[in-house]
Chain A
Amino acid sequence: MGLNGAVFIETYLQGNRQMRWFWIDRFIKFESGKTATAVKNVSLAEEHLHDHFPGFPIMPASLMIEGMAQTGGILLGETHSFKHIVILAKVPKATFHSWACPGDTLHYKADLLDVKEEGGIVNVTATCGDRLVAEAEIVFAHVDQMDADVPASADQKNFVFEVGLMGILDVGQSGTGN
């Protein structure tokens, strides 16, 4: 990506609060520093499902990884109050056992395996009811603002809050207020 592209995206992120990159809908369990479970409801209203694949809509594996990483990344970020920028560094292992289609509810369960000053590692499973859909190991790195190549505007707190990802942490209330 050229400089113009980078500047454009930066401006877009700052100026446009409409960018939506939520691949989880809600946390249903959150044990700080240990484990978190988020749900993702797969809906036929999602545009991409009509291309993936025509006549056979299934949740793309890459977006499942994204949802698993959002679940695990927030679990890790919360351990240090979102002080560090958490980036998905590596997916050493990922296995997809079956698929999820519209109407399915995926449960992403992330377990924090280890946290260090430099980053963390999580193990995440995706299930649909009793069916194991996918499992992955994900390594995150902490990037500090002082590090080279990190734009000044990159701030995890701002990023997480401004794109509204933190809202997902407010465990949703049902219509009855429970």
Chain B
Amino acid sequence: MSASEEVFEKVRETLIDALGVDDDEVNAEATLIGDLGAESIDFLDIVFRLEKAFDIKIPRGELFPENLTSAESGFVQDGVITPTGLQELRVRMPHADIDKLGDSPKLESVSDLFTVGMICKFLEAKLAS
């Protein structure tokens, strides 16, 4: 099993435990909120489990940034993420596929960035560093 397959398997196990989903529901493209039914509190549980499974520390906000698109941030205008906001997303979430959002994405689409693949990419970078 390659290193990235190993990471994926552990992430899959973690999500099965944390979200009570079936193993065939967990694939790289699955979104945590939309497809796997995660709620905000599950993110903390997922971080606890990933830290244990991979024996690493994940500082607050590193994997799942907080307050990215709050009203005060200035990164959202009329429900759409501004170019500055998109730039901020790229900085804060280098492990996420920001390009898939397009040029002027709606605020709601940010949750689609949180995918199983995003977690794997984050962990691979973390483990390599």
Contact = CB atoms under 8 A, between A and B. Distances in A.
Contacts, number: 31
Nearest to A148: B70
B44 A118 contact: yes
Contacts of A121: 45, 48
Sort chain B's interface into a size bin.
10 to 19
Given A92-B17, A92-B18, A116 B41 contact: no
B45 A139 contact: yes
Which applies to chain B's interface (DSSP): helix, strand, loop or mixed? helix
Interface in A28-85: none
Contacts of B17: 92
A141 B47 contact: no
Nearest to B60: A117
Interface residues of A, number: 12
Which applies to chain A's interface (DSSP): helix, strand, loop or mixed? strand
Given A114-B51, A114-B52, A90 B60 contact: no
B48 A116 contact: yes
Nearest to A119: B44
Given A89-B41, A90-B41, A90-B45, A116 B52 contact: no
Interface in A87-124: 89-90, 92, 113-114, 116-119, 121
Interface of A: 89-90, 92, 113-114, 116-119, 121, 139, 141
19 contacts: A89-B41, A89-B44, A89-B45, A92-B17, A92-B18, A113-B48, A113-B52, A114-B48, A114-B52, A116-B44, A116-B47, A116-B60, A117-B60, A118-B47, A118-B60, A119-B44, A121-B48, A139-B44, A139-B48
